[in-house]
Structure 1
């Protein structure tokens, strides 16, 4: 029904009918509203396009600025650390020379080595502060113009910012560099311990001015910001121009597609010299031409899904019915046996025997359900044995020969020595099930004819037997789980269970096929499996 509705919907005749109908009922809309929509759509696309470009360029500019700022900061800090290391070496040399000429010990902490800090400030051109062994500030020498050194008894503000932390690190025999910024200056402070005769004589803190260095970095970043703004404005202008050229045919294409969806046009007509838009237009035309085909494919897939869902519901309904029958029998006999006044010994024996049979039937049914589910979800777990079909099927026929004789039947085999690759135990289950069904549903006194021969690259195994007239079924439904035919005798006997469904799944996992055909009163089962030589060549 859905397919029949789709065909006129997509036909050009109906589209023309819609267009004429809309033209008669809405003349103003068909003439003016598409133009207004065209302008609105073009403006909206242009704004979105421009906004996207502007946002992209802004993110790129901010990212580039952040990266350059981080890079300059790392470079400046690395340069400061290198200079501080050289300053530290200079201080050690100067201290070694000073200690060789003077006595600086903790007991003289009431004073301070003025000549030492003066020499460091004069020769190193840095502010030098001395702290005693207890971390108390004593003096700071400041180099002045003209070769003078000013000694202060109060610490400068930069020394107060991180004095405790730096002195604590120096007390642990560490040299530490800290950088401090304020509105007007940028200072680097080197803090290191002062030793005399393996004893802590105090601490030195040397302050170097790097204001000029950081200001140069700021100037570079400001220039980078200006360059980024100019570049951003230029790119936005180019994007605006590009958006105007690009969005006009795109908006026309959008309007045309909307009109096509409303049934107002039968084909797309856009005058554009843009090659990319021409490709898009042609693609739209191809899409329109193939739409009916795709919709029919969707309908087909939908029908498959519906069929699968129907099969699933039938499977669970049949499983419920099959499980209910033995459970009802067991429950009925159990209720009779539990009656207070029941004393029929013969009936009790028959009931126990029937409960035992129904329990075994229920057990086998549950095993079949588990086996069927396992094969659905564990398809790749089988072995890859070398299976000689003549021996594998011959063993199954020999084991079931006695059961056939009890029903007055015989199994006669004519088989060639053929070899396949697969799971020998799984294939044996197939042979047992097929022979058991042939005996179970075969006519009393009939012969089950078994043939095995080669057909090119496949081994073909056939089972032919005469079926009992009371067991009639549809050949197409024989491999469905728990299939039951419509005949009265079949309803009384129950469904075919999961045996043939499991056989089909095993054969398919071995890349083979199984087919059942009805010829008058005879049933022909044909199983095809790839020969081992063919599988070996493919796997090699």
Structure 2
């Protein structure tokens, strides 16, 4: 008896679902095809409006009257312009349907011309030629200028994507309905095995745990011993997962701390290198010139003293700095333009060593919220890169000004483009575009530090190649005077 009832239930379920499955698919198919026709009609109406505007403007511009002769004279031009502007193939006919010009005769030859016949009668018409993978619409309408019919325009428009997507939607609906059928069938089968399935699931779950897979949960709406066993099992698995998750978090945190420590010392090493480079440059020039140029000697010695002090401060900072994020840094309202001018002036001698020159165009009053030393390091790193990697005997252009509510800094130098357009990866730590030209002793942190400093100041940075120049744009919010 039980077997007969179960059989009848399954057979009845199969019949009901099969009928529902067929009705659903046919209904969805009808709705989709109807929607496609509405989309096609809407596109063709817009196409007709645009082409009518074009024809009227052409007649008006050329001072043509509304007759067939001038329409024929314009046929080639119309076919070409409408093809380029609409992206559809276009044919131009006289009022009797004789072909005057076509952007692609092969497209229109050998196809049904029912739409053209209707246009000859003065009607607007189209027909759709489609199968599962291809859809093409032929659309014709009579051209009327100042109330006079002067010719016929016929378009061939590709709707392959629309009908392809419709086919994909139908496939998705089919497979979803099939999946629902399978799920419902399995559910009915499970109901017939109400007593044994919980034990089977518990056995499978314990087997998964034995293999080390802890992403299992057992849920039974039962209040007997099996239900309580499932609750205890879930509690046990949850506690094991929590312990493992805690261990994994601690492991990841330890790894992150180690990486942060390494990045910290790498960055500080790079920061220490910057003032040393400047000191070395001035010292070498002073050694060459001696005291023959007293003004330059005094300036160079002052710069060496300043950079030495900054180097000393960096060393002290290295000994005392905490590993907190930049959010704890104290920002002041400072004139970034003055800092950039000073950096440009100090780096001009380094540029001269490479037979290059620096051109600066910096507006006054470029105030931002930030740190003097960090912004100075930012500008030095960018100028240093521009000097090293620009073409020989070239000019490095530095501009800064207010754009909207931002201060825009532009660094532009002539150079060869990067291979494979690598501008998006250039700010990653340790990344080098070309290992052959990478500076000796560099660890690839220069532009990574630049990106970090810009982020600290809430700004944005991007690099791109334009007109044989590598260009870097930096935007930082302008700091208005607080009232």
TM-score range, shorter chain: 0.3 to 0.5
Relative contact order, higher structure (CA 8 A, sep 6+): 1
Q: TM-score, normalised by structure 2?
A: 0.37
